[in-house]
Amino acid sequence: MTSTFIQHELKAFWRSKNTGKSIAIRVVMSVLIFILFLYVLTLGFFLDKILEQALPKTDLVVSFCGIILIYYLFDLLMRLQLQELPTLRVQPYLQLPVKRNALVRYLAFTALLSVFNLWPFVLFVPFV
């Protein structure tokens, strides 16, 4: 059922009157996100050296835990403001004989593909 929803999303995208503009915006945004990922990845690799220079008298683990706390608070605020929830895309299916569990699984799957979910891995895995 999830594949059917994805097929409907693709058909709606290609049949839209602003398809060319949407493709151009997605290409530019993907290049910018790729550059941002490279910056975050290099920050992840050099985070121990940056923390040693910025906070020389504190323990590295304590300062890292403080940064993680601030990061997750900032991430929560960013998600509340910037993450698009795909609930409006599912609204036409509510009146059709489609199981609610399939709709919820599709919403969870599309929310899982968000760029925000990759940031902690790109930043903290190279440091750890």
pLDDT digits (tens, 9 = 90+) for 70-90: 988 988 888 778 777 666 677
Instruction: Locate the domains of the chain by residue range.
Output: 2-7+18-127
Confidence band, pLDDT 50/70/90 cuts, at residue 37: confident
Confidence band, pLDDT 50/70/90 cuts, at residue 45: confident
Amino acid 28: pLDDT: 93
pLDDT digits (tens, 9 = 90+) for 114-123: 777 777 887 7
Kindly tell me the sign of the dihedral angle through the C-alpha atoms of 88, 90, 26, 77.
positive
Within the chain, residue ranges assigned H as helices are 2-15, 19-45, 47-54, 60-82, 87-90, 100-112, 119-127
- In one letter, which amino acid is 82? L
